[in-house]
Structure 1
Amino acid sequence: MAALQPGTLKRKSSLPVWLAIGWRVAAVLALLALAVGVHWIERDGLKDTADGQVSFLDIIYFTSISITTTGYGDIVPVSTAARMFDALVVTPIRIFVVLLFLGTAYNFVLKRSWDRWRMTIIQRNLQGHIVVAGYGKTGSEAVDELIARGATADNFVVIDADPDAIAHAQACGCIVVQGDATRDQLLEDVRITQAKAMIVAAGRDDTSILITLTARHLAPDLPISIIVRNEDNEFPARAAGATTVINPVSFAGLLLASSCTGTNIAASLADLASARGKVALTERPVRVGEIGKPLGAIATGLGVQLRRNGQAFSFADPEAETLLAGDSVIEIIATPLAQA
C-alpha cells in the first residue's frame, strides 16, 4: 500500500529486501573476519587467563565478544600493538555494527510502523481536499494557479508514479503519494470519497480516462476535471464520468482565431483565467438575496452567464432576467491586484 508522505521523501530502493539485508550481514561478517585475522596474527599480544594458551577458537571467541560487548576479561590484550588495535579498530567496528543493526531494524521494522501511523493520522484529517492525478507541466500549473487563488498547498494530494514529480510536489508543500492512480486501493487511501474535487492530468489520454473511470466508480458525486490531447477522446472522457473535459489543442485554436479579429482578445482571456490578472472569471451559486433579480443586477461582479439545470444562458437570454434558486452565476470580478 502506498504511503502518504508529508515529510521527508525517500525514493524506494531498487534492491529486494533479502538483498538489502544480505549486504548488511556480509559487511558485518567481513569486519569480523578482518578483526579475527589481525588478532590471530597478533595473538602473542593476547593473554588467556584460563589456560595461558590462545587458540584459533579463542581468537574467534575474543573477537566476537569484543565487537558485540566490552568483553569479560578472560582474554585480554597485553601488548601495546594489541591494545592499540582494539582501541582504534575494534571499537569503531563495534560502533559501526551496532549502527548497522539499528539501521536495519529501523528500515524494515520501525520505519514501516512509523509510516503506517503517519498515514493513519493524515488520512484521518483528509476532507475537502483536491486530488491531483499527474503532476507534470499541466498538473503542477493547475496547483500553482489554485494556490495563487488562495488555496493552501497542504489541501492538495498529488499522485504520480514519477519520483521527480513527487519530489517537486512535496517541495511545494503538497501531500504526496507515489503510485498508480488507476488502482482502487490507492484512491481509497487518499480518501477520494471525502475529496472536494479531482484534477486528472496523467499525460496520456488513455491513462487519464482510466483514472477518471476508477475515481467515478469510487466517488459518484465527485467533480472531476480531465485534460485530453486528442479531440476524439473528449467523448470517452465524458463517458468515463468526467465533469469537465479540457482539450488544450482546441482551446489554443480558439485563442488563435480570436487573435485574428482582435489583438488583445487572447491576452484578455488569459487575464480572465488567471488569478494573477486584474480581473478573474469565477462561478458561484445564486445567493438568497439575488433570487428573482436579473443577472445584471448582481453586486459582486459583472454577470456574464448563468447555469440552470445543466444549460448555459448568457446575460442577453430571457432566462437571465430572473435568477432562480439552484442557479449558478458566472461573473467577472476584480482581483486584489486590480484593487492595489
Structure 2
Amino acid sequence: MIHFPAVRRGPLRAISVRLGLAVGLVVLIVVVIYVDRDGYRDVNEDGLSLLDSFYYAVVTLSTTGYGDITPVSETARLVNVLIITPARVLFLIILVGTTLEVLTEQYRTSLRLERWRRRVKNHVIICGYGTKGRAAVSTLLENGMDKSQVVVVERNPTALRQATSDGLVAIEGSATRSTVLKEAAVQDARAVIIATDSDDASVLVTLTVRQMTAGKVSIIAAAREAENGPLLRQSGAHHVIVSSATAGRLLGLSTTAPPLIEVVEDLLTPGQGMALAMRSARRDEVGLAPRELNELVIALFRRGKVLSLADPEGTTIQTGDMVVYVRDDRPETVPAMP
C-alpha cells in the first residue's frame, strides 16, 4: 500500500463532522417546532409532545412526510416555508455530500497514485525510516533534493505516519519483498539507501535490489557490525557504512583527542560551520595541484577510487576528477543596521 503525504482530513473525520451537523440540524428543527407546537395538528388531536416534535422533524427532513402531523396556523406554515424547507435541503446535502466526499477522496487518491507512478524516476528509496533513515532523508533534503524524489519503504505503522507527516511518499511493506520494491519503482531509482534495524534484513534487501536492478542502481547499506560489511558488499552493496565501528572510533577519539570530535561533528552537522562537499573539476583546474585551488581540498575521486593528497596520483588534477573539499556552511548573516 502506498501512503501519500496528508493534504486534508481523512474520510472518517469528514463523516463524523457531517453526522454531527445532521444531528445538530435535527435538534434545531425540533426546538423550532416545539416552541410553536400549538400551530400544529396531530391526528390524535392531543397536542404535540417533545417526542412528536422529534418525530415530525425527522420525517420532514428526510422527505418521508406521513402527514399525521401538519402545520395549521399561519405562523407554523411560515416557519415551514422559511426554516424547515431550507433545512430539509441542507440535510440532504449533508447526507449526500458525505458519500460524495468519500468517493471523491478515493478517486483523488487513485489519481495521485497514477500521476506519481508516471512521474517517479531517478529517485532515492529509503528502506527503513528509523533514526538512520530519517537522518539520511534530512541530509538529502539539506543538499537540495526535493521531497518528491524521496520514497520511503517501511512496515512499521508509526514510522509510516512519521514519513507521511514529513511530506514523503511511503510504501507500506517489507523491503525484502520484490513486490514492495516494485511498487517503489526500484528499477527507475537513482539509489537505494538501506537503513534497516538488523544486518540480516539489510543483506536480504541488498540481494533483492541487486536481483531486480542487475546492479544498475547504486546501493548504500548500513551495517551494525563490521564483520557484516564484506557480506553486504558481496551481496551487491556499492557502499557500506558500519555504524558501530564508526561510533567506536569516535568514542576513542573523544578520549585521546577530544577536539577532533568537535571537528567531526561540525563537518556532519549542517549549518554549523564546515561541511564536506564534492564537485567536478573545472577545465582551468586540470593540471593544477589540489592545494592551489581556492577551496580546502582534502581528496580527489578518480575512476571510482578516492585519492588522498599524499598519494602520488593525487598530486595533480586530471580531467573527470571529482574534487572533495571543505566548504563554509555557516548561514549568511545580515549586517546590523547602524
| TM-score, length basis structure 2 | 0.69
Q: Does 1:161 align with 2:159?
A: no
- What's the CA shift string for 1:163-187, capped at 9, x where partnerless? 2222222222222333322332332
**1: CA distance between counterparts of 2:325 and 2:232?**
27
- What's the CA shift string for 1:64-119, capped at 9, x where partnerless? x9897535xx7644699xxxxxx9xxxx9x99999778757865x65444322111
The alignment's C-alpha RMSD in Å is 4.1
**Alpha-carbon shift at residue 264 of structure 1 (Å):** 0.3
- What's the CA shift string for 1:113-165, capped at 9, x where partnerless? 43221111122232333222211111112222333344343432222112222
8 Å Cα contact 1:9/1:167 also seen in 2: no
**Alpha-carbon shift at residue 6 of structure 1 (Å):** 5.3
Q: What's 1:178 paired with? A: 172
8 Å Cα contact 1:6/1:176 also seen in 2: no
Change (3 A) 1:335 1:3: closer
**2: CA distance between counterparts of 1:130 and 1:327?**
24
Q: What's 1:17 paired with? A: none
8 Å Cα contact 2:194/2:221 also seen in 1: yes
Q: Secondary structure at the match of 2:187?
A: helix
Q: What's 1:194 paired with? A: 188
Task: For structure 2, list consecutive stretches of 5 or more residues without a partner in the other structure.
Answer: 13-41, 45-58, 73-79, 81-86
Range that drifts further, 330-339 or 240-249: 330-339
Matches within 5 A, 1:1-340: 1-5=1-5, 7-8=7-8, 69-71=63-65, 76-77=68-69, 111-219=105-213, 220-299=215-294, 301-337=295-331
8 Å Cα contact 2:300/2:322 also seen in 1: yes
Read off the aligned partner of 1:258 and give its amino acid letter. L
8 Å Cα contact 1:282/1:332 also seen in 2: yes
- What's the CA shift string for 1:5-44, capped at 9, x where partnerless? 45358699xxxxxxxxxxxxxxxxxxxxxxxxxxxxxxxx
**1: CA distance between counterparts of 2:201 and 2:240?**
14
8 Å Cα contact 2:5/2:167 also seen in 1: no
Q: Secondary structure at the match of 1:330?
A: strand
**1: CA distance between counterparts of 2:118 and 2:154?**
22
Q: Secondary structure at the match of 2:2?
A: coil
| TM-score, length basis structure 1 | 0.69
8 Å Cα contact 1:306/1:328 also seen in 2: yes
8 Å Cα contact 1:160/1:179 also seen in 2: yes
Question: How many residue pairs were aligned?
Answer: 291
